[in-house]
Amino acid sequence: MIACNDEKVNPLLADWNTPFEAPPFEQIQNEHYLPAFRTAIKNAEAEIAAIVENSQKPDFDNTVVALELAGQQLKRISNVFFNLEAAETNDTLQAIAQEVSPLLTKYSNDLFLNERLFAKIREVKENVSKQSELTGEQKMLLDETFANFVRNGANLSEQDKQQFREISEQLALLTLTFGQNVLAATNAYSMHITDEKDIKGLPEGIAGAAREEAKAKDLDGWLFTLHQPSYGPFLKYADNRELREKIYRASSSKATSGDKSNIDIIKQITNLRLKMANLLGYKSYAEFSLERSMAKNIKAVDNLLNSLIVAAKPVAEKELEALQKFAESQGANFRIMPWDLSYYSEKLKASKYNLDDEITRPYFKLENVVDGVFKLSNILYGLNYELQTDVPLYHPDVKAYRVSDENGRFMALLYVDFFPREGKSGGAWMTNFREQSNVGGKEQRPIVSLVCNFTKPTESKPSLLAFYEVETFLHEFGHGLHGMLSEITYESLAGANVYRDFVELPSQIMENFCVEKDFLDIFAQHYLTGDKIPPELVSRIVESRNFMEGYATMRQLNFGRLDMAYHTREIPLEQDVFDFEKEATKETKILPGVDGDLISSAFAHIFSGGYAAGYYSYKWSETLDADAFSVFKKNGIFDKATAESFKNNILTKGGSEDPMQLYIRFRKQEPSIEALLVRSGLIGN
C-alpha cells in the first residue's frame, strides 16, 4: 500500500483536474489532511527561504509579490479544511484541527518573526516611499504587508518574540476549541415532545419539521433542537410557556458547564489578547484592533454606540411597555421574560399588521428566493448563473453555479449550502475556497461559498423561508458579490479582504431590497397557486419593517457593548464571567435578566470568529448602507448607473484603497448616521 502522504496519491497535493479547478471533495479523506498540511508547510517554508536568500537587491517584485505568491498550496489546503471544519465537520476533523492549529501558528510566527525577511520588506518600503514607482494597489499591498509584520511581532525583542509565539499558539487553540464547544453544546440538546397539546400554536410546517426530526432519531412525537430553524419558531409560536422557558434556558446557557464549558476559555482568550496587545505597545486589545479599521479608535466606536443608545433606548422601552400591555390583554398575568418576547411580538405584529411569518412563508419558496436574488444581481450587475452537475460537492445539500457576466466571461464558481445539520456550525456566512487574483496576467477567478441554516423542506412541503431568512440570504449574497465581482491584482486585497467595519456594507445594502415591492414582484409567488404576492401584503411588510426596531437595535448594541467591554480592558479579567457580562450590559439590557443566562459562552463572533473588538461594525456598516441605499432610492432601486457606480467603486475594489475614499467616490460625501436613524424609525423624516 502506498502511504497517503505520497504527493502522487494525496488529492490535496495533486493538481485538481476538476471543472473550474474546484476541490475534489469526493476524493479527499480525513487521513489526507495532516500529511498534506505537513508537506505544504515545508514547501511554503522553502519558498520563503528562497526570498530570504535571494542575493538581488530587495524590490517590490522579488520580495513583496514573491511573498504574496508564497504558500499558495498551503492556502488551498487550509481553505478546504477549515471551510469543511465549519460546514461539514465530524469528530475526526475536529481532532485534526487541534493538531493542525499549532503547526499553522508556528508557520505564521516563523514567517512574521523572520528578521532577514522583515529587513528586506523594510528596505523596499523605505526606498519606495521616496519614489512614485508603484500603483495605488501596489502601495497598499506594501503598506499592508509591512503593517502585518509589525502587528505580528516583527519589531519585538528576541525575548518578547518568544512570548508572542507562546501567546499566539495558545490563542489559536483556544479560539478553535471555543467554536467546537459551541457546536457540541448546540448538538447535545434536544427537547422531545410526545403530547400533542404541547405543540399547540405551532404552524403545521414547523410541527411537521419537528416530527421528521424525531423520526430521523427513531422517536415518536416531535423533536426540537437549538438550531435556529427549530428553536426560533418554537419560541415564536408555542403556546406552552413552560416549554418555551425550558428551551430558551437551554439555548441561553450553552457551553457554560460540563466538559464543553467555555467559561474559563473566555477569560483565557480575553487575557491573552490583552497580553499580546501590551506586548505590541497598546493599552488594550481594542486599541490594537481598531488601528486597522475605519473607526480608527475606541472613542469613535463609543461615540457611535452611545449615539444609537440615546436614540434607540427610549423607543425600545416604549415598545416593551406596549408589548406588556398587549400580553396582559391576551391574558398574561406575568412580566414579559425573554422566552415570551418572540411569542407576544409575533402576536402583536399579527394584530397590528395582519402579518406573521406563516402568512409570508408560502411566497418565499427557497428556490424562488434564490432565483429572485440571482435576477436582482443580473439587473444590477449583469450576472448570470448556470447550475453545474459535474462539479464536486462536499454534501448532497450543496449546489454549485457557474457565474458569468453579460458578455459570458467566467466570474466565479458559487456554492450554496442552505440547511442545518449536526456537522455544520450555526448562523450564516460567506467564505472562499479560492480568492480572486490577477498577478502577471494570470487571472484566477474566485470560488465562493454561501453557508446558511434555513428551514428544511419536509415530506409535504418545500423549504419555505421566514422573512428574516430571506433577509439573511440577501445579506450573505451581498458578501458573495463582494467576492465574485472582485477585480484586484493581489488576492490578499481581493473581495472581502477589507476592514472589518467596511466588510458589512456590501452585505447589508442588499437587505434593503427585501422591502421593495419592485424586487418582491420579481420572485415572490405562492408555492401552490403561483399567484404573485398581493400588493397589500407587500404594503404590510413595508409598514411592519420597523416593528420592534428599537428593541432590535438595542439587542445589537448589547452585543457591541459586551464585545468592547472585554476588549477595552487594560487589566486582566479575574471577575466571574456572569457578573462581568451583567455589569457590561446593564445599560443596553432591556429585558429582565435570568439566572444562568450568558451571551459570552456562545459569542462565537468575538471568541472564535474575526469580530473581536469589531462587533460594532454591523452598526457602523448599517450607517454606511442606509446612507448608500438612499442613492438607490433616489435614482430607482434598479438604476443601472447607480449600480455601476457601486460596483466599480465598492464591489470590485476589495481592500485596494482606503475604504472611506472608496465610499466617498460612490456617495460624493462622507456617510451620515441620520439616514440610519430615519430608516429605522428612531427619528422622523
Structural domain boundaries of the chain?
Answer: 19-112+114-151, 189-254, 362-548+618-679
Contact 194, 221 (CB under 8 A): yes
CA distance 382 to 379: 6
Query: Distances from the Cα of 109 to the Cαs of 113, 148, 161, 168, in angstroms?
Result: 6, 12, 9, 8
- DSSP tag of 490: S
- In angstroms, the CA 604 to CA 363 distance is 32
Report phi then psi at 223, rounded to 5.
Answer: -125, 125
pLDDT attached to residue 128: 81
CATH number of 19-112+114-151: 1.20.1050.40
Q: Are 557 and 617 in contact (CB under 8 A)?
A: no
348 class by beta-carbon count within 10 Å (0-12 exposed, 13-18 middle, 19+ buried): buried
Model confidence at 269, pLDDT cuts 50, 70, 90, reads very high
Q: What is the pLDDT of residues 299-356, one digit of tens each?
A: 999 999 999 999 999 999 999 999 999 999 999 999 999 999 999 999 999 999 999 8
Helix (H) or strand (E) holding 122: helix 115-128
CA gap 396, 573 in Å, rounded: 45
The contacts found for 510-514 with CB under 8 angstroms, 24 or more apart, are 510/474, 510/475, 510/477, 510/478, 510/481, 511/471, 511/474, 511/475, 511/478, 511/625, 512/625, 512/626, 512/629, 512/632, 513/376, 513/474, 513/637, 514/467, 514/470, 514/471, 514/474
pLDDT of residue 4: 46
pLDDT at 1: 28
pLDDT confidence bin for 9, thresholds 50/70/90: confident
* Position 61 confidence tier, pLDDT thresholds 50, 70, 90: very high
**Average pLDDT in the 589-597 region?**
94
* Positive or negative: CA dihedral 133, 138, 143, 147: negative
User: For residue 7, is pLDDT > 50?
Assistant: no
Distance CA 560, CA 614 (A): 8
**Average confidence score pLDDT of the chain:** 96
Q: What is the pLDDT of residues 437-482, one digit of tens each?
A: 999 999 999 999 999 999 999 888 999 999 999 999 999 999 999 9
CA dihedral 567, 570, 573, 578 (to 10 degrees): -50
User: pLDDT by residue (tens digit) across 76-111?
Assistant: 999 999 999 999 999 999 999 999 999 999 999 999
Q: How far is CA 555 from CA 316, 509, 559, 562, 601, in A?
A: 10, 20, 7, 11, 17
- Determine the average pLDDT of the residues in 215-231: 96
- Cα–Cα distance for residue pair 508/474, rounded to 1 Å: 8
**In the 8-state DSSP scheme, what is residue 64?**
I
Task: Give the CA-trace dihedral at 94, 96, 97, 101, to 10 degrees.
Answer: 160
Burial class (CB in 10 A: 0-12, 13-18, 19+), 609: middle
User: Annotated active-site positions, please?
Assistant: 476
pLDDT of 2? 34
pLDDT score for 133: 81
Q: What percent of the chain has pLDDT over 70?
A: 98
Write the DSSP symbol of residue 1: -
- Is the pLDDT confidence value at 130 over 90? no
Q: Report the C-alpha gap between 145 and 400 in whole angstroms.
A: 34
pLDDT bracket for residue 8 (50, 70, 90)? low
Judged by average pLDDT, the poorest of 165-169, 204-208, 551-555, 636-640 is 204-208
For the stretch 236-259, what's the b/e string if a residue is b when 16 or more beta carbons lie within 10 angstroms of its beta carbon? bbbebeebbbebbebbbbbbbeee
Average pLDDT in the 509-538 region? 96
Cβ–Cβ under 8 Å, residues 70 and 44: yes
Identify the CATH assignment for 362-548+618-679 out of 1.10.1370.40, 3.40.50.300, 3.40.250.10, 3.20.20.70.
Answer: 1.10.1370.40
- 428-455 b/e (C-beta count within 10 Å ≥ 16 → b): bbbbbbbbbbbeeeeeebbbbbbbbbbb
Q: Which amino acid is at 367?
A: E
What confidence tier does 3 reach under pLDDT thresholds 50, 70, 90?
A: very low
Q: Furthest-apart CA pair in the chain: how many Å?
A: 82
Percent of the chain that is helix, strand, coil (3-state, to 5):
60, 5, 35
Selection from 516, 555, 595, 661 nearest residue 315 by Cα: 555
Q: Which of 423, 400, 404 is nearest to 88 (CA)?
A: 423
**454, 524, 458: which is closest to 204 by C-alpha?**
458
CA gap 191, 645 in Å, rounded = 50
pLDDT band at 389, cuts 50/70/90? Answer: very high
Contact yes or no for 490/497 (Cβ under 8 A):
no
Task: Find the mean pLDDT for residues 423-438.
Answer: 97
User: Which one-letter amino acid corresponds to residue 177?
Assistant: T
